[in-house]
Chains A and B, each alone.
Chain A
Amino acid sequence: MQEWFEQVSSKFVMAFVEGDRWKLYIKGLGVTIEIAFFAAILGLIIGTVVALMRLSVKRDGRKTLWSRIAGAYIDVIRGTPSVLQLLIMWFIVMKSCKNGTLVAVLSFGINSGAYVAEIVRAGILAVDKGQSEAGRSLGLTKAQTMIYIVIPQAIKNVLPPIGNEFIVLLKETAIVGYVSLTDLTRAANQITSRTLEAFMPLIGAAVIYFVIIKILTILLGILERRLRRSDNR
């Protein structure tokens, strides 16, 4: 028992304390959060714009060119692996850009945008058609009806799936090691190869991801409840 305990604690010291290795995790976590945060914002903006494009119809009810472009974008992004999108962005599209973080943010933002677009589209379609008909019947324009009536109600609908998308995005950034960025996953991996001990760094990184996502989940829950409350006032 004594022996086992000593073994574990020495492995722990090796993985986290020796040579200030804990700083590497923190630094890696910083990179993970930085990329996820900015990519999430970019994804929200792209997603909302693309959803509105996707929903646009001509007067006779046919799809607009915008709608077709948005549809093609969603198809391409969802139809290819995000690792490949990241590599294509890094080695081909933004070949001359040396800022890996920027490339990662753009790549993940564009990727997330496609998923957010589908979530937002569903959220808008879930708002009763009568709401926009009532707006239009009063003489409000399409845009005014969207801004003042439909979108505020759609936000409540989309919050749970958007939260889910953020969580997926945060974990998906674990592949940025491919473009020589040192995020949390890569930091743990590097420490594993330096200490030749896999257990502590990998489990440690997993625990950190878990805690961060748990906190995010709790925050989203609070936000959701707050929005619901104003619903039944």
Chain B
Amino acid sequence: MIIVKDLHKKFEDGNHVLRGVDYHVRQGEKIVVIGPSGSGKSTFLRCLNLLEVPTGGEIWFDGQLITDPKINIDKIRQHMGMVFQNFNLFNNHTVMENITLAPVKLKLMGREEAGENALKLLERVGLKEKADSYPGQLSGGQKQRIAIVRSLAMNPRVMLFDEPTSALDPEMVGEVLEVMKELAESGMTMVVVTHEMGFAREVGTKVLFMDEGVIMEENTPGEFFTNPKCPRLQEFLSKVL
């Protein structure tokens, strides 16, 4: 579904963050990406929907070369949901408006249909009664669950998660992971950058270890955690587990 070939990203300040990443995400997979900070894992994820424009390599999504400068990236992004570390709910809109804004403005749904759909999704994450609240009135966990719903309202083919629980108070991590687990069970293709090793082990179909701008190791969760091969990963796991 997503094919990444020899992806490079060098920032203007000369920081060469991605140094040749190759990967193939298949339909229905739940890819969990872990690694130390500065390893390039967030940049890798942000390249997938071109929030960061790669400086080299190719990304294919459903058979389309999306790194081609002529492609209409807005159309592509409609099919790729993204959840951010800092939630990024639209502060000037209610929860309901946050969820319906994109489908309505992009003329994918009428206002009413979008509203009904939003309520259904809100119910799924247990936040139906917050429909008319503003983001400023919600807790971090609630914001993140709504951010997930906002992405789902576009009926994406794949969901990208950029450290979705890193900015949360510890007691709120569980509620967000719960929603993500349900989403995984529903068959959604997911790419998740996270520090939650429990989640990686339980939900991931593949776990990737990134460091120094490349994928150093890739394996099924069982093998990945019990039998790590490269020394950098062994060292990393010994510190975080």
Q: Which residues of chain A have a CB within 8 Å of any CB of chain B? A: 59-61, 128, 130-131, 133-141, 144, 148-149, 152-153, 231-233
CB < 8 Å: which of B74, B86, B92, B93 contacts A139? B74
Is A233 touching B134 in the complex (CB atoms < 8 A)?
yes
Looking at B75-83, B183-191, B196-204, B208-216, the stretch in contact with chain A turns out to be: B75-83
Decide: A134 near B90, CB < 8 A? Known: A60-B53, A61-B12, A140-B106.
yes
| Contacts of B99-118 to chain A: CB distance below 8 A | 101-102, 105-106
| Contacts of B9-33 to chain A: CB distance below 8 A | 12
Tell me the nearest residue of chain B to A62, going by C-beta: B12
Q: Chain B's interface: helix, strand, loop or mixed, by majority?
A: loop
Tell me the nearest residue of chain A to B153, going by C-beta: A138
Given pairs A133-B51, A144-B105, 4 additional interface contacts (CB within 8 A): A130-B88, A134-B150, A137-B82, A137-B151
Chain B residues in 8 Å Cβ range of A137: 49, 51, 77, 80-82, 84, 151
CB < 8 Å: which of A130, A141, A149 contacts B84? A130
Shortest Cβ distance from residue A73 to the other chain B in the assembled complex, whole angstroms: 26
Tell me the nearest residue of chain B to A130, going by C-beta: B88
Chain A residues in 8 Å Cβ range of B84: 130, 133-134, 137
Is A59 touching B86 in the complex (CB atoms < 8 A)?
no
Tell me the nearest residue of chain A to B75, going by C-beta: A139
Shortest Cβ distance from residue B193 to the other chain A in the assembled complex, whole angstroms: 14
Chain B residues in 8 Å Cβ range of A149: 90, 92-93, 101
Check: B136 CB closer than 8 A to any chain A CB: yes
Decide: A148 near B105, CB < 8 A? Known: A59-B69, A138-B150, A141-B74.
yes
Shortest Cβ distance from residue B202 to the other chain A in the assembled complex, whole angstroms: 26
Q: Chain A's interface: helix, strand, loop or mixed, by majority?
A: helix
Shortest Cβ distance from residue B75 to the other chain A in the assembled complex, whole angstroms: 7
**Count of A-B residue pairs with CB < 8 Å:** 78
**Which of B75, B105, B147: most chain A CB closer than 10 A?**
B105
Q: Which residues of chain B have a CB within 8 Å of any CB of chain A? A: 12, 49, 51, 53, 69, 74-82, 84, 86, 88-93, 101-102, 105-106, 134, 136-137, 147, 150-151, 154
Tell me the nearest residue of chain B to A60, going by C-beta: B53
Is B90 touching A131 in the complex (CB atoms < 8 A)?
yes
Chain A residues in 8 Å Cβ range of B90: 131, 134-135, 148-149
Chain A residues in 8 Å Cβ range of B134: 232-233
Shortest Cβ distance from residue A50 to the other chain B in the assembled complex, whole angstroms: 24
Tell me the nearest residue of chain B to A61, going by C-beta: B12
Is A138 touching B154 in the complex (CB atoms < 8 A)?
yes
Chain B residues in 8 Å Cβ range of A148: 90, 101, 105
Is A128 touching B88 in the complex (CB atoms < 8 A)?
yes
Docked Cα-Cα span, A130 to B102, in Å, equals 16
Docked Cα-Cα span, A137 to B89, in Å, equals 12
Docked Cα-Cα span, A7 to B82, in Å, equals 78
Docked Cα-Cα span, A140 to B81, in Å, equals 12
Q: 18 A-B residue contacts at CB 8 Å?
A: A133-B84, A134-B89, A134-B147, A136-B77, A137-B82, A137-B151, A138-B77, A138-B78, A138-B150, A139-B75, A139-B76, A139-B106, A140-B105, A141-B74, A148-B90, A153-B92, A232-B134, A233-B134
Shortest Cβ distance from residue A116 to the other chain B in the assembled complex, whole angstroms: 21
Is A139 touching B51 in the complex (CB atoms < 8 A)?
no
Chain B residues in 8 Å Cβ range of A134: 82, 84, 88-90, 147, 150
Chain A residues in 8 Å Cβ range of B136: 231-233
Tell me the nearest residue of chain B to A153, going by C-beta: B92
Docked Cα-Cα span, A133 to B49, in Å, equals 11
Docked Cα-Cα span, A139 to B155, in Å, equals 12
Docked Cα-Cα span, A188 to B137, in Å, equals 54
Shortest Cβ distance from residue A111 to the other chain B in the assembled complex, whole angstroms: 31
Docked Cα-Cα span, A144 to B69, in Å, equals 20
